[in-house]
Structure 1
Amino acid sequence: MTKQNIFEPGKNCWQETQACYSTPLIDCANYYRALHSSICKAEKQIIIVGWDIDSRIRLLHGEEEEQSEAPSRIGDLIRWKAEQNPDLKIYLLRWDSSFAFFDQREMWALEVWQDKTPENVQAILDDSIPMGGSQHQKIVVIDNEVVFSGGMDVALHRWDTREHKIDEPGRNGPDGEYGPFHDVQIVSSGPLVKHFAELAHWRWNRIADNPIESIGFPDTDTDDLPGCWPDGVKPCFTNADCAIARTIPEMEDTELVQEVRHMLINLIGQAEKFIYIENQFATREEIAYAINKRMKECPDLHVVIVSSYDPKGLFESEAYWASRITFKNIIEKDIDDGRVMMTYSSIRDQQGRMAYKRVHSKVMTIDNQYLVIGSSNLSNRSMTLDTEVDLVFHGSTEENQRCIEFVRNDLLAEHTGRETDQMQDLINSDAPVTAIMEGQLAHGYVLTEIDDSEFTTASETNVFRSISDPEEPLGPAIPDFHGKFSAITNPRRRTIMISLGVIILALIAGALILISNTVPWLDGDRIQAFLEESRGTYFALPTVLLVYLVGGLLFFPVTVLSLAVAAIFGPIWGPLYGIMGALLSAGTTFLLGKLLGNAGLRKLGGPKVEAVDEKLKKSGIIGVAAIRMLPVAPFSLVNLVAGISSITLVQFLIGTFLGMAPQMVAKGLVGDSIMQIFRNPSAETVTYLVGGLVFWLAMIIGSQKAAKMYQAKKEEAKEESEECIA
């Protein structure tokens, strides 16, 4: 047996509890597989709280995905499970993220879940975090039987296997390929599940209109694994004493909670022989000072820290890598060489190809006495501003001490290319850090000492750090009607999207106004004069085509152009030239829309645009023709939207021709009649004009009815086909 644990609820932890069974899940392939299994087994309730919940992420890969009866993508899996069991309640809470993470997130996440899942699936975005902070807790509770917690989200650029191959086809997300990625989650059952469920309920109920339904908790006085325990996962810890530590920023309805910060400092103060840490970031100077202090108190204490190497962008480099230089200097100050090492894990294969493992995990072991697996980085924001939750195990039995040792040794073996059973002898040696760093095999993963001076320099005053790794909210506290001060929250995603839309529309409108005021020939009279000069010449058709092309790009009304062309070139050549010009203009702006869609407008449009796109694809040529017959939107705008959609250029042009040709004939009659009235006003020319207008109106009304009749017949045929199949 070992000494009493250091858990102090209300100070360094929220709850002191117990896990009947717990098993670390190292790297996302293992976590996603386990999560898929437990979701498939759920019968009553699923609660997912995360930094992100991306509906596009595949939980299974390869043969597992092919052989699974349940869908692999989590969005499809949740929908499938909810439809399969209408009594199952599913709650999804995701951070309503800041503008900084737009490129890493599903653009219309809330609408995707709302539009594509049944009513027993509820999704909300948490926008209550103070400005600069994030919702960083990662919790999944299933049937109140099992809980997943740790550093992993169902998000972009997470999935990888423990081999972390240089070439891995599975590491290919919706926005492209990414490199080796390492993370750690843990699945648990027993009394601790009740506390994680309570935390998840609190997160949901404080911002949602409808509270989470209570379903009760199973009996934990049994040796059987719970029904939702994932297949293929063997328990590591059994009957383990543990504690739950949180970080919660001060918000309108909460006081500041810094249990994680106090827990880590207290744990470091217990270390005697070996501290192992792997963490995405290492910037919190308080943690560095605590490690340095403990190493001076215990001459036999050695420390290995594993983190990432190459920074992702300027903010990460200057906010975290620059601060990590200071962190490293503090730890090593007045400590003998070879006792502490900050490292990264990388591989160079026999062909000379290099890969750096991206470390996202948040793990700490203190000898064989304590194991931390959580969501907290060793950063300022994780100690004070973000919401975090860590699970801390105490090695209160020899069995659980061996489990702590195994987890640590297994992780170190992965990072150094060794076997797990080799690591304990290295750690038991007189110089464990040196033993670990030496003798690593070539062409496998190896640990290398970090030198962040390759990327940046330490700085006392760092504006990037103050923005990316703050201790306090970026905005000031403001009073409410009762005089209570509350921190400003991050702007809501919807607010940001609406603001961006307004800005884009304002820029477009400003550009059009500028063009109209600075281009003297952009009016109906000048265009008509320009066309008249080409009448009767070889340049007539090219002139018409040029006018339609330029007019389409500048959103000039196509009806005005068509009437002008008909008035100048007559009822025969006018419609012919007009339809050719309209097709050229439509095709050009369609291709422009295609380029814009590929550049991100399709993603910006969200599921509502997808729904319109789906209808357009189903109706095809007839749908385009119907739109062309009805003056529901500007000609060029329809072209751009069609380009953003999935309809083909050929379908679009054929539909445009079928929809516009009758109109062009009608406009030809009207335009020619107007010209004849000016040249030779008489009862006959007025009659032609009135007849042309009536024919034009009849074409619009007739096309509406024809489109509706066609659509009705199409739906009727579809229903009959489905009945026959049934």
Structure 2
Amino acid sequence: MPMARGTAEAESKLDEFDDSSVAPGVWRYAKARRVRVAIDGEEYFDLVQQAMLRAKQRIMLIGWDFDTRIHLRRGRRWYQRPFDRSFPSRLGSFILWLNRNRPGLEVRILKWSYSVFSLATRGAMLFDLLRWARHRRIDFKFDTAHPVGCSHHQKIVVIDKQFAVCGGIDMTGGRWDTRAHETEDPERKLPSGSLYTPWHDVTMLMEGDIAGALEDLGRQRWITAGGKPLKPSEKSEESAWPEGLEAHFENVEIGIARTRAEHGGMRKVHEVEQLFCDQIASAKRFIYAENQYFASRAVCEAIAKRLAEPDPPEIIVVHPHTADGWAEGQAMDPARAELVTALNELDKHHAFHLYVPYTDDQPIYVHAKLMIVDDELLRIGSANFNNRSMGLDSECDVFIDSNRPGNGHVTGQIERLRHSLLAEHCGMAEEAVPALLATYGSMAAMIAGINQRGEGLQRRHLRPFHPATPDETTRDMALRETLDPEEPGDVFTIVPARNGLFRRGSLLAKARAKGRARLRRIRQVD
């Protein structure tokens, strides 16, 4: 059967890109001169705005969502300083100002196609797109290059082939918060003016050759989505790295992992899943993870293997109390309940712990996608612990592994970042964490000790999470992975339960069957 003309043309445009993996679960390795982990939106949005102000050639913004109505930290607001001629703080106007005041600078923005429907409720954004359309150096596209039911989920920024960002934060509303995560913060509001609840997120800022690799990934995605081919940026001697910004890491090698569904001549890529499984298997002492969901069959099967060992590593997962939105809750929460029940059945050494961060009695929504293993590996990206991120949605994670050549110096800083995150969630000074960990012997014991010693919970604290039992309908949907499938072909289909969340004969399936049998015996006795 002859190849469709459009597919053939797209493939010819993509010939320049090396699409193969260099190692199991890894697309590329590249060097970085400087790396900074930005924790929470206040730091991220400020640093990215500073970097964009230093751009000379190209700003590439790739995301699941993008909202021109949000205000960045710096710049004027017309209603506050109407005669100020400095750059504006509102994102849509800020990009237009960059276009007018940076000769030769081009801005390319790629956003997931489904969010086109959000324009109906973002009237001012539609006006921004019309204003941008007059300027050839601003190009905005919706990404439709995925199978039905899949999404474009990467969150990447690349500036001048020297500066890049990869993580979990989109440049949209509802993502800004401080590390204090106050119960009520008048600055934490949507473009509409309504307030939202505390939000925790993480991303990675990088400088050096790694930006060139992520630019290649971005240009490849741009062409796949129907954009005109973009020439590589010229490597500049100058960098958009914000002036005075202290790096967490210097002169390190960074790995990149992707997820991509097979579509339009592009082969399936499941590096994210393979790398998660390999990194979980590599843990010797502990795994500390923050993630929006806990519903991935592959990830939980990898954890199950560790819990079944005679001396498993401590596994800490910080995540939200419930998924954001009704549909997400119906898809993710019942699957989480089933998987956690099975894992608890295997957890004879009490090594596995789920927590939800709180400020007072207000749960903090965890949108971060972060994993630290033994303080030897740091991973940050867009991929969630759910099935979609393993096989359906386009994802991109970056990681620093101390076992790679030249990376032996990173372990101390990874440890400090873990301490910083624990301090944020437990409402304490970062300097106090090392001594408390030494006293209690583990992260879980420290968290329990702090909560108990405090005679009531601290203002910011971590609470152990125990999922509620789902009803039969939502349980059946979770078992069949109806709302969170692993393959594009399973979208909108009824997958047999034996091919769903618990694969026949797997360690998880056996643990679940054993746990359900034990519960039946308890109910009979009662």
TM superposition score normalised by structure 1:
0.59
Aligned residue for 2:118? Answer: 102
Deviations 1:545-578 (A, max 9, x none): xxxxxxxxxxxxxxxxxxxxxxxxxxxxxxxxxx
Q: In the alignment, what sits opposite 1:375? A: 382
Cα distance, 1:311 vs. partner?
A: 4.0
Asked if 1:28 is matched to 2:41, the reply is yes
Matches of 1:129 and 1:357, distance apart in 2: 32
In 1, the alpha carbon distance for the partners of 2:99 and 2:310 equals 55
- Root mean square deviation, CA, Å: 2.9
Instruction: Identify which of 433, 436, 458 aligns with 1:423.
Output: 433
Letter in 2 for 1:421: E
Show the 5 A alignment for 1:185-264. Answer: 185-218=203-236, 226-264=238-276
For 2:480 and 2:118, the matched residues in 1 are separated by 20
Is the contact made by 1:416 and 1:446 (CA closer than 8 Å) also made in structure 2? Answer: yes
The corresponding residue for 2:509 is none
Where do 1:539-578 residues align within 5 Å? none
Q: Secondary structure at the match of 1:172?
A: coil
Q: Which residue of 2 aligns with 1:93?
A: 110
CA contact (8 A) 1:58 1:72 kept: yes
Select 2:32's aligned residue among 8, 12, 19. Answer: 19
SS, match of residue 476 in structure 2 = coil
DSSP 3-state at the match of 2:468:
helix
1:399 to 392, 409, 413: 409
Q: In the alignment, which residue of structure 1 is the partner of 2:419?
A: 409
Structure 1 residue 54 corresponds to structure 2 residue 67: yes
Following the alignment from structure 1 to structure 2, what is the Cα–Cα distance between the partners of residues 298 and 55? Answer: 53
Alignment of 1:630-641 (within 5 A): none
2:372 to 365, 369, 381: 365
Deviations 1:215-260 (A, max 9, x none): 22246xxxxxx53102342101111122100001110120000000
| CA deviation after TM superposition for structure 1 residue 10, in Å | 4.6
Query: For residues 68 and 467 of structure 1, what CA distance do their matches in structure 2 show?
Result: 53
Q: Which residue of 1 aligns with 2:357?
A: 345
**1:398–1:194 Cα change, 3 Å:** same
Q: Residue 409 of structure 2 aligns to which amino acid in structure 1?
A: E
List aligned pairs for 1:290-329, cutoff 5 A. Answer: 290-297=302-309, 299=311, 301-329=313-341
User: CA, structure 1 residues 464+265, in 2 after alignment: closer, same or farther (shift >3 Å)?
Assistant: closer
Paired with 2:121 and 2:469, the residues of 1 have a C-alpha distance of 30
How far off its partner does 1:474 sit?
A: 6.1
> Any conservation in 1 of the 2:60–2:218 contact (CA below 8 Å)?
yes
Paired residues, what number? 459
Contact persistence 1:319–1:464 (CA under 8 A): no
**Cα distance in structure 2, aligned partners of 1:465 and 1:68:** 58
Quickly say closer, same or farther: Cα 1:458–1:322, change in 2 above 3 A.
farther
Quote the residue 1:568 is aligned against: none
Give the direction of change, closer, same or farther, for the CA distance of 1:394–1:52 in structure 2 (3 Å limit): same
Provide Cα deviations, 1:664-715, integer angstroms capped at 9, x if missing partner: xxxxxxxxxxxxxxxxxxxxxxxxxxxxxxxxxxxxxxxxxxxxxxxxxxxx
After TM superposition, the score normalised by the length of structure 2 is 0.81
Letter in 2 for 1:112: D
Instruction: Calculate percent identity across the aligned residue pairs.
Output: 28
SS at match of 1:336: coil
Report which stretch shifted further, 86-95 or 448-457. 448-457
1:684-699 correspondence runs (5 A): none
SS in 2 for 1:412: helix
Distance 1:70 1:457, change over 3 A: farther
Larger of the two Rg values belongs to structure: 1
Deviations 1:335-363 (A, max 9, x none): 23642210100122xxxxx3110100000
Cα offset, 1:330, TM superposition: 3.1
The structure 2 residue matched to 1:461, chosen from 456, 476, 491, is 476
SS in 2 for 1:446: strand
Q: Does the 8 Å CA contact 1:325/1:457 hold for their aligned counterparts?
A: no
* Separation of aligned partners in 2, 1:27 and 1:51: 18
Summarize the Cα distance change of 1:68–1:451 in structure 2 as closer, same or farther, 3 Å threshold: farther
Query: Which of 432, 443, 461 is residue 432 of structure 1 equivalent to?
Result: 443
- How many Å separate the matches in 2 of 1:464 and 1:300? 27
Match of 1:119 among 126, 131, 136: 136
Matches of 2:335 and 2:478 in 1, distance apart? 12
Cα distance in structure 2, aligned partners of 1:325 and 1:188: 37
Q: Is the 8 A contact 2:119 2:125 kept in 1?
A: no
Q: Closer, same or farther in 2 for the Cα pair 1:106/1:385, shift >3 Å?
A: farther
Structure 1 residue 180 corresponds to structure 2 residue 198: yes
- Name the residue aligned to 1:282: 294
Q: CA deviation at 1:433?
A: 1.2
In structure 2, which of residues 89, 95, 99 is the aligned counterpart of residue 82 of structure 1?
Answer: 99
8 Å contact from structure 2 (residues 34, 249) kept in 1: yes
The whole-number CA distance in structure 1 between the counterparts of 2:479 and 2:105 is 45
Q: Following the alignment from structure 1 to structure 2, what is the Cα–Cα distance between the partners of residues 298 and 110?
A: 58
What are structure 2's unaligned runs of at least 5 residues? Answer: 1-20, 493-526
Conserved? CA contact 1:339–1:431, under 8 Å: no
Structure 1 partner of 2:165: 148
**What letter matches 1:31 in structure 2?**
Y
Residues 464 and 47 (structure 1), Cα distance of their counterparts in 2 relative to 1, 3 Å cut = farther
Q: Would you say the 8 A contact 1:344–1:450 is kept in 2?
A: yes
Instruction: Give the Cα separation in 2 of the matches to 1:407 and 1:20.
Output: 19
1:165 alignment partner in structure 2 = 182
The residue aligned with 1:71 is: 88
TM-aligned CA distance change 1:86 to 1:282, over 3 Å: same
Call closer, same or farther: CA 1:30–1:476 in 2, change over 3 Å.
closer
- Please give the secondary structure, in 2, of the residue aligned with 1:177: coil
CA distance in 1, matches of 2:125, 2:227: 19
Structure 1: gaps of 5 or more residues? 1-7, 220-225, 349-353, 478-726
Structure with the larger helix share:
1
Aligned to 2:510: none
CA distance in 1, matches of 2:73, 2:242: 14
Q: Distance in 2 between matches of 1:286 and 1:242?
A: 24
Quote the Cα distance in structure 2 between the aligned partners of 1:306 and 1:403: 20
The residue identity in structure 1 corresponding to 2:477 is N
